[in-house]
Amino acid sequence: MLGKAIIKKAIGFESAKLSLRIVCSSNTLKAYQSTSSDVDYKHHIDHRFDDSRMVTHTKLQKPSEANNEENLESSPSQNIATALSHAYRADPTRGTRPIYLDVQATTPLDPRVLDKMMNYYTGLYGNPHSNTHSYGWETNTEIEHAREQIANIIGANPKEIIFTSGATESNNLAIKGIAKFYGSSSSGIKKNHIITTNTEHKCVLEASKSLKDEGFEITYLKVDSNGLVDLKELENHISEKTCLVSIMGVNNEIGVVQNLKAIGELCRSKKVYFHSDCAQAYGKIPINVEDMKIDLMSISSHKIYGPKGIGALYVRRRPRVRLHPIISGGGQERNLRSGTLSPPLVVGFGEAARLMAVEREADIEHITKLSKKLVDSLLKIEETSLNGDPNHRYHGCVNVSFAFVEGESLLMALRDVALSSGSACTSASLEPSYVLSALGKDEALAHSSIRFGIGRFTTEEEIDYVIKAITERVEFLREMSPLWELHKEGVDLNTIEWSGH
């Protein structure tokens, strides 16, 4: 009796299990069969992934904040032209995320790069420095392959590439490493003089500043009104005590390209090491370390659609450049930068570098076309000017000054476009850009400048939107400005004596 019941129960259990299995398999079948109704190409939605999709909304910088709209509506200025209110009103048929035009700060990760990286976040997790098993060998092979891809772009030997955490670390390693090695040598002349320019990135300026506290002598070269370094002046400053000249390739704020070849040849003839911060230049303008006689070069991965958190320093082997390492440890990377390499980041960096070479022509053509369109349209607005040399420039970086408009207020009015008035590091401070001040721009003009970054993923539609938005809102902000009114009446603003209250 009891036995029978147990058997019955067991049978019931079995059948339940069976039916469960049928349900499961039909579900999985459904998930992997792509019928046409599952995929909505028009709205870019693949319903097969409905249950696993995570919807993320960006709360910050939403142009459609209800509060702002109310405030604007209830203010006495509600009858004023609605150019500005466009910035806060959401079109229900359109999205809400701002257009990204700040590729000098960082670039989106290319999906093709992510595709390579995913292997190393899933199956290939070996430590590349493990020499005793295949997990280490397979990642090590790929790291060396990536090193080759990165070296190829600048005509270097793969052994000359040192991986670091980014261009800031590379710049610090180059400047402090050279200074500590040659500045403290007990034999011969103490080389304790470094030359750089006053338009360099903050990390070069700060690294030099910290060396100054340690007794080094730093010369900050002045640039001309176009942002270029004067070679004569550089030559005059090089002395027998000079150990390093550090000049960037492409300026991150104004996009000016320095004459690296002439500077490199001058430094080589004077037997001084030449370091170049090429975070913005690498892969975007033609660079060859042999041709340009560059001894050290800083490279960043996240400026070339690669992953964040990795960069590289090119260190010449012949003639040998010797550095004092900042980080001590297991002796990886020719003993210059110890610490385990991250295979996903390194491989992503390598793939990003390969893509820069593969896509070079198409990218340059696309970026130049959009840049020309943007510059031409912005300069049509009255009293605007392009900062930096018009001929020696990288087209993906456009810096324009809008006179009689406060730069930060224009940025506030342009919340539907992600822009910056200078480098991301200094964007928190309200001081005018030190790069523009170095060009000799007066403070008001330096305040009213905005940087537009155009990259591989920028579209023509976005540029059209930005041109329209800027033209409308500059006009609107100027109409409010008493300075613009005075200017229109022909009063020279510099002659006015402002009384303090």
Partner 1 sequence: MNTAVKSALNTSKQLSQQSISSLNASYMNNIQLFTNYNFREYFKRKYQREFEKLNKEFATNDSNAINHYEQLTEELRLIKRQTIINQLYKFDELIVEQK
**What contacts 24+ positions apart, CB below 8 Å, involve 295-300?**
295/267, 295/321, 296/174, 296/178, 296/321, 297/154, 298/167, 298/170, 298/171, 298/174, 299/150, 299/167, 299/170, 300/166, 300/167, 300/170
Judged by CB under 8 A, does residue 32 bind partner 1?
Answer: no
Q: How far is the CB of 467 from partner 1 (least distance, A)?
A: 12
What are the two backbone dihedrals, phi and then psi, of residue 164, each rounded to the nearest 5 degrees? Answer: -130, -170
* Residue 96 interacts with partner 1 (CB under 8 A): yes or no: yes
Stretch that binds partner 1, among 49-57, 134-142, 193-201, 480-488 (CB under 8 A): 49-57
Residue 54 interacts with partner 1 (CB under 8 A): yes or no: yes
d(CA 270, CA 233): 14
Torsions phi, psi of 263, nearest 5? -65, -45
Q: What residue has token string 């209250």? A: 501
Q: Which CB atom, from 266 or from 347, has the smaller least distance to partner 1?
A: 347
Cα-Cα end-to-end distance for the chain:
104
| 3 touches partner 1 (CB under 8 A) | no
Output 441 or 456, the one with its CB closest to partner 1: 456
Q: Which of 2, 32, 60, 461 forms a contact with partner 1 (CB under 8 A)?
A: 461
- Binding to partner 1 (CB under 8 A) within 63-92 occurs at 63, 91-92
Point out which span in 15-23, 111-119, 159-167, 487-495 binds partner 1 (CB under 8 A).
111-119
Report in angstroms how near the CB of residue 345 gets to partner 1 at its nearest. 18
Residues whose CB falls within 8 Å of the CB of residue 445, separated by 6 or more in sequence, listed in order: 385, 401, 403, 436
* Cα distance between residue 381 and residue 375, in whole Å: 10
Cβ-proximal residues to 197 (8 Å cutoff; 6+ apart), any chain: 220, 221, 222, 223, 229, 247, 248
CA distance 448 to 435: 13
* Distance in Å, CB of 455 to partner 1, minimum: 9
> Does residue 122 bind partner 1 (CB under 8 A)?
no
Site for partner 1 (CB under 8 A): which residue of 33, 35, 37, 56? 56
CB of 33 to partner 1, least distance (A): 15
Give whichever of 52 and 186 is closer to partner 1, judged by the CB atom.
52
Whether 425 is catalytic is: yes
How far apart (Å, rounded) are the C-alpha atoms in residues 245 and 305? Answer: 29
Evaluated on CA atoms 154, 160, 163, 164, the torsion sign reads: negative
Of the pair 96, 426, the CB lying nearest partner 1 is at 96
Residue 315: which H helix or E strand, with range? Answer: strand 311-315
Does 480 bind partner 1 (CB under 8 A)? Our answer is no
Closer residue to partner 1, CB minimum distance, 110 or 333: 110
Q: Which is nearer to partner 1, 98 or 339 (CB)?
A: 98
Q: Does 51 bind partner 1 (CB under 8 A)?
A: no
Told to check if 284 binds partner 1 by CB under 8 A, we report no
Stretch that binds partner 1, among 229-237, 252-260, 429-437, 451-459 (CB under 8 A): 451-459
Residues 201, 284, 316, 366: which binds partner 1 (CB under 8 A)?
A: 366
Residue 42: count of CB within 10 angstroms of its CB: 6
Q: Is the Cβ of residue 3 or residue 95 nearer to partner 1 in the bound state?
A: 95
Q: Which of residues 404-443 bind partner 1 (CB under 8 A)?
A: 416
Single out the residue of 219, 276, 301, 458 in contact with partner 1 (rule: CB under 8 A).
458
Counting contacts by CB under 8 A, is residue 94 touching partner 1? yes
Of 292-321, which residues contact partner 1 (CB under 8 A)? Answer: none
User: Quick check: 456 binds partner 1 (CB under 8 A)?
Assistant: yes
Residue closer to partner 1 (CB basis): 29 or 55: 55
Q: Where are the alpha helices (DSSP H) in 154-213?
A: 167-183, 202-213
Query: Which among 13-21, 40-48, 319-327, 372-380 is the span making contact with partner 1, rule CB under 8 A?
Result: 40-48
Using CB under 8 A, which of 1, 2, 5, 55 touches partner 1? 55
CA dist 101 → 16, 119, 208, 402 (Å): 58, 30, 31, 17
Q: Does 102 engage in binding with partner 1 (CB under 8 A)?
A: no
Q: Which of 108, 123, 329, 390 binds partner 1 (CB under 8 A)?
A: 108
With binding defined as CB under 8 A, does residue 60 bind partner 1? Answer: no
- Determine if 33 is a binding residue for partner 1 (CB under 8 A): no
Enter the tokens of residue 457: 């993923």
Compute the least distance from the CB of residue 362 to partner 1, in Å: 7
Per-residue buried b or exposed e for 96-131, using 16+ beta carbons within 10 Å of the residue's own CB: eebbbbbbbbebebbebbeebbebbeeebebebeee
Looking from the CA of 95 toward its CB, the CA atoms found within 13 Å total 9
Q: Does 95 bind partner 1 (CB under 8 A)?
A: yes
Q: Identify the CA nearest to 167 among candidates 424, 452, 480.
A: 424
Q: How far apart are CA 264 and CA 273, in angstroms?
A: 9
**What is the set of active-site residues?**
425
Binding site for partner 1 (CB under 8 A): 39, 41-42, 44-46, 49, 52-58, 63, 91-100, 108, 111-112, 114-115, 118, 359, 362, 366, 416, 456-459, 461-462, 465
